[in-house]
Amino acid sequence: MNEINQDSYQAMLDAVQAFHDKHDFKNTGGEELTYRIALMAEELGEVSECVTKGKPREELAEEIADLYILLVGTAIAADFDLKQAFWNKMDKLMQRQSKMIGGRIRVSEFRDK
């Protein structure tokens, strides 16, 4: 990626779109959402393996990148603006309270039963 601001979300979105276009995901099942969920679960398992087996940071970074690419691609496939969804969710998260549960911080919409 010469001359492109690699720090921009748009550059990442364009790169993932180019990957989808190169392999014609739209017409070959690559954008089918159930399939994409299965791929994300597989990648999350690989992330987990990196952490639980103490694999090098570079391997973890690669698996997280795979997951991120799948997330961006899923936004493309489902036709929604992931950047806007991110900021909408951050606005909600910043309003939430946190609690210590089992010795770890948890941020959620805690509801009384």
41-74 pLDDT, tens per residue? 999 999 999 999 999 999 999 999 999 999 999 9
In a domain, residue 47? The reply is yes
In a domain, residue 35? The reply is yes
In a domain, residue 96? The reply is no
Please check the confidence at residue 86 and state whether its pLDDT lies above 80.
yes
Q: How many other β-carbons are positioned within 10 Å of the β-carbon of residue 61?
A: 11
In a domain, residue 37? The reply is yes
Query: Would you say the pTM of this structure is higher than 0.75?
Result: yes
CATH number at residue 42: 1.10.287
Number of separate domains in the chain: 1
**Structural domain that includes position 78:** 9-82
